[in-house]
Amino acid sequence: MRSCLLACVLAFAALAHAETFYVDPLNGKATNPGTKAAPWRTLQEVVASGGLRSIKPGDTIALKTGFHGRVVLSGDNTDFITIAADEGARPRLSYFEITQGSKWRLRGLTVSASFGEPYEGVMLKFADGGPSNEIIVEDCFVFSTLDTSKWDANQWMAANSGITMGRNGKGHVLRNNYVFNTRFGINLCAENSTCEGNVISHFSADGIRVTRDGQVVQHNVIRNIYVSDDDGDKNHDDAIQCFLFNVGTGTVRNVTIRENLVVMRENEDQKFKATMQGIGFFDGPLIGFTVEGNVINTSHWHGVSLYDAQDCTIKNNVAYTQWQTEKLRPWVQLGSKDKAEVKGNTVTGNYAYTFDLKNDKGVTAKDNNVVTEEIHTKRQAELIALIEKKYGKTVPAAGFKRLGLERVKWIEGTPSADGKTIESIDASLNQGRPVVLFLYKAGDKACDKFERETLEDAAVNEQLDHATGIRINVEDISRDLKKKYNIGTKTPTIIVLSPAGDIFWDATSPNAKQLAKQLQAARETRKPAPQPRAG
């Protein structure tokens, strides 16, 4: 009893001494002490200057809205150090890596290669440079760029990849992250680690890659694959793929793939359509796997395929295709590449078009049935309800739903190839929605402040949901284009256009109340009602 009481006292004392340090790109200074009243400036500066030495196990680094740079750090902690978005904040980074270390938690960060100088490869990486344990990445938004409407097939194939959990250590967690517009989605390379509640949407290679023993992949949503063989992409795209980390040697053991939702495509107008294998585990031997409760909607043979499987369980999965005019129908299969005897497997309670289990002569197979649209619809609805109950209807940093096409709030306005139009403006006219132009200068503090205090205001955001938002860097626009679209040089400026393109209202540095009021009026007014420039 005495030792238990002492342990409780020590634990309470540790919590009581935990501190929160603040980092604010708009109001901070590198020489400040990192308090709420006197925050540091950017996380990149804090790391580069050695400021992490003042952070103790159990402490939190709270990041305010703004650009925090490119961050690479390492270190072992006896208790978790948390690097997180401050309440209501949207901190942005161009790259984040923990090369090696223990007990780090990242929460609520937005990481995109589009925020900095272009680079190749993954955007958020950890545990790939040395011994690492218990690194948690949750509630983050990772994307290459928000607007891919003008991408060609080569750009999709050259896109940055999302998140890599490196090969070192164990006990890592990826939870409730949103990975968007990437080449590969999530790579899992550490043993006994968990990948749960994530969304991987719009990608051109594989959604999730499983490569080590003891990994758990559950409650993820994987959807919208791009770029086919005919487009020049020879990668065999999988929603979830498993292969040996050291290709051709050893086994993969005790992996769980549970209650994931896979949808090949949500929009039949999508460019660069591609087919996608569902759960394709072709490189065994696979020992002691459990694949259960997954719902897959794809036009390919491989709904659930395990090759060279031993003592594996495949149960209660649904493999369906809504693309009934295509010949491909997903199956459940126990395949073989003759790397090991296929034996001891159990396949029960699944729905698919066919079941190819002949490689396991002693398989336990029962209650497997032909899938129907009704079964798929019911099970998908039940699964998405379960996922939303556990992790929420949206991923906080992204603000997107787990299923259904994303609506990007702000797209970037860029000149057309001949420099005579701004493509995103012309494409947005006559769509029945107001068009909101946000004129800014990259790196300008006044523009960053305006984004934080005005554009992220709740009332403004509510109105922006009913408009098309276009960001325009005035330094990238020619004099002719400025004249054509009545774009001045002052920033930050908002121009509200009617659906037809007439100027409804414009203002330099309006406050949130003004902007929300005018956006509401633009929604309710059918005819343009030009007003004098405010501010």
Q: How many Cβ atoms from other residues are within 10 Å of residue 454's Cβ?
A: 20
Q: Does the structure show a pLDDT above 90 at 408?
A: no
Q: What pLDDT, on a 0 to 100 scale, did the predictor assign at position 218? A: 98
Per the model's pLDDT, the better-predicted residue between 21 and 452 turns out to be 21
pLDDT exceeds cutoff 80 at 399 = yes
3-state secondary structure of 429: coil
Evaluate whether 411 touches 469 at the Cβ level (below 8 Å): yes
Count Cβ atoms below 10 Å from residue 256 Cβ, excluding itself: 18
Alpha-carbon span 332 to 172, nearest angstrom:
30
Per-residue pLDDT at 199 exceeds 90: yes
243 pLDDT band, cuts 50/70/90, is confident
pLDDT in tens, 41-73: 999 999 999 999 999 999 999 999 999 999 999
Q: What would the mean pLDDT of 144-149 be, rounded to a whole number?
A: 91
Question: Which pLDDT does position 61 carry in this prediction?
Answer: 98
pLDDT for 468 beyond 50: yes
Tens digit of each residue's pLDDT (9 = 90 or more) over 205-217: 999 999 999 999 9
Cis omega (within 30 of 0) for bond into 396: no
Q: Copy the structure tokens of residue 199.
A: 């969304």
Q: Which residues contact 462 (CB under 8 A, 6 or more apart)?
A: 516
Count of Cβ atoms closer than 10 Å to residue 149 Cβ: 11
What's the average model confidence in pLDDT over 138-148?
A: 95
Q: What is the pLDDT of residue 532?
A: 42
SS3 annotation, 508-521 = ECCCHHHHHHHHHH
For residue 177, pLDDT beyond 60 = yes
Measured in whole angstroms, the distance separating CA 4 from the mean position of its chain's CA atoms is: 42
Residue 526 has a pLDDT of 55
How sure is the predictor about 13, in pLDDT bands with cuts at 50, 70 and 90? very low
Per-domain boundaries in the chain:
94-391, 410-524
Confidence of residue 247 (pLDDT cuts 50, 70, 90): low
pLDDT for 295 equals: 98
Q: By percentage, how much of the chain surpasses pLDDT 70?
A: 94
- Order across the sheet with 110-112: list the strands: 66-67, 91-93, 110-112, 141-143, 178-182, 199-203, 221-225, 261-263, 295-297, 318-320, 351-352, 369-370
Q: What is the pLDDT of residue 16?
A: 52
In whole numbers, what is the pLDDT of the chain averaged over residues?
92
Q: What is the pLDDT of residues 330-345, one digit of tens each?
A: 999 999 999 999 999 9
CA distance 46 to 35: 13
CA angle 527, 530, 535 (to 5 degrees): 140
Predicted local distance difference test score (pLDDT) of residue 248: 57
Which residues make Cβ contacts (< 8 Å) with residue 209, sequence separation at least 6? 184, 186, 187, 188, 240, 241, 242, 243
Q: What is the mean pLDDT of residues 2-15?
A: 45
Model confidence over 359-375: pLDDT tens digits?
A: 999 999 999 999 999 99
Local confidence band at 2 (pLDDT 50, 70, 90 cut-offs): very low
Instruction: List, for residues 443-453, the tens digit of each pLDDT value.
Output: 888 998 999 89
354 vs 456, higher pLDDT: 354
Closest by Cα among 522, 506, 513, 518 to 433: 522
Name the CATH superfamily for 410-524: Glutaredoxin (3.40.30.10)
Answer whether residue 282 shows pLDDT above 50. yes
Decide if 199 contacts 179 (C-beta within 8 A). Answer: yes
User: Of 120, 117, 21, which Cα lies nearest the Cα of 70?
Assistant: 117
Largest CA distance in the chain: 81
β-strands 286-287, 110-112 pairing: unpaired
- Give the 3-state secondary structure of residue 87: coil
For residue 77, the 8-state DSSP code is: E
What pLDDT was estimated at residue 1?
44
Least confident of 220-234, 301-315, 472-486, 515-529: 515-529
pLDDT score recorded for residue 524? 85
pLDDT at 147: 87
Record the tokens describing residue 178, joined without a space.
Answer: 């949103």
Residue type, 482: K
Contact 187, 161 (CB under 8 A): yes
> Are the beta carbons of 238 and 280 closer than 8 angstroms?
yes
**pLDDT at residue 226 tops 90:** yes
Residues 272-282 have a mean pLDDT of: 96
- Closest C-alpha to 146, from 191, 202, 105, 99: 202
**Which of 228, 195, 200 is closest to 212 using CA atoms?**
195
Of 7-16, 66-75, 90-99, 481-490, the poorest mean pLDDT is in: 7-16
